[in-house]
Structure 1
Amino acid sequence: MMAFTLEQLNQRVLERAGASPDESYTARLIAKGVERCAQKLGEEAVEAAIAAATGNKAGLAAEAGDVLFHLLVLLRAGDVSLDAVMEDLQSRTAQSGLAEKASRQEGRQ
Structure 2
Amino acid sequence: MGERTAGVRDGNIGETIEGLARVIHGRRDASPESSYTARLLQGKEDGLLKKVTEEATEVVMACKDRDHDHIRYEAADLVYHLLVTLERYGVSVEELAGELDARHR
**One-letter amino acid matched to 2:83:** L
CA deviation after TM superposition for structure 1 residue 62, in Å: 0.6
- Does the 8 Å CA contact 1:48/1:64 hold for their aligned counterparts? yes
The 1:78/1:61 distance shift into structure 2, 3 A limit, reads: same
Contiguous gaps of at least 5 residues in structure 2: 1-8
Residues 53-85 of structure 1 show CA distances to partners (whole Å, capped at 9, x for unaligned) of: 111111111101000000000011111111111
**C-alpha contact (below 8 Å) 1:37/1:77 kept by paired residues:** no
| Equivalent-residue separation in structure 2 for 1:79 and 1:30 (angstroms) | 11
Residue from 70, 75, 78 that aligns with 1:64: 75
Q: Which amino acid aligns with 2:97?
A: M
Listed as ranges, the matches of 1:1-109 within 5 Å are 3=11, 5-94=16-105
Calculate percent identity across the aligned residue pairs: 33
The one-letter code sitting in structure 2 at the alignment partner of 1:13 is I
RMSD: 1.7
- The match for 1:106 is none
**TM-score, normalised via structure 1 length:** 0.78
- Check the 8 A contact 1:34/1:78 in 2, yes or no: no
Any idea what SS the aligned residue of 2:27 has?
helix
Query: Does the aligned pair in 2 maintain the 1:17–1:27 contact within 8 Å?
Result: yes
Distance 1:73 1:33 in 2: 13
C-alpha distance in 2 between matches for 1:49 and 1:63: 9
Alpha-carbon distance, 1:31 to partner: 1.3
Bigger-Rg structure (1/2): 1
TM-score by length of 2: 0.81
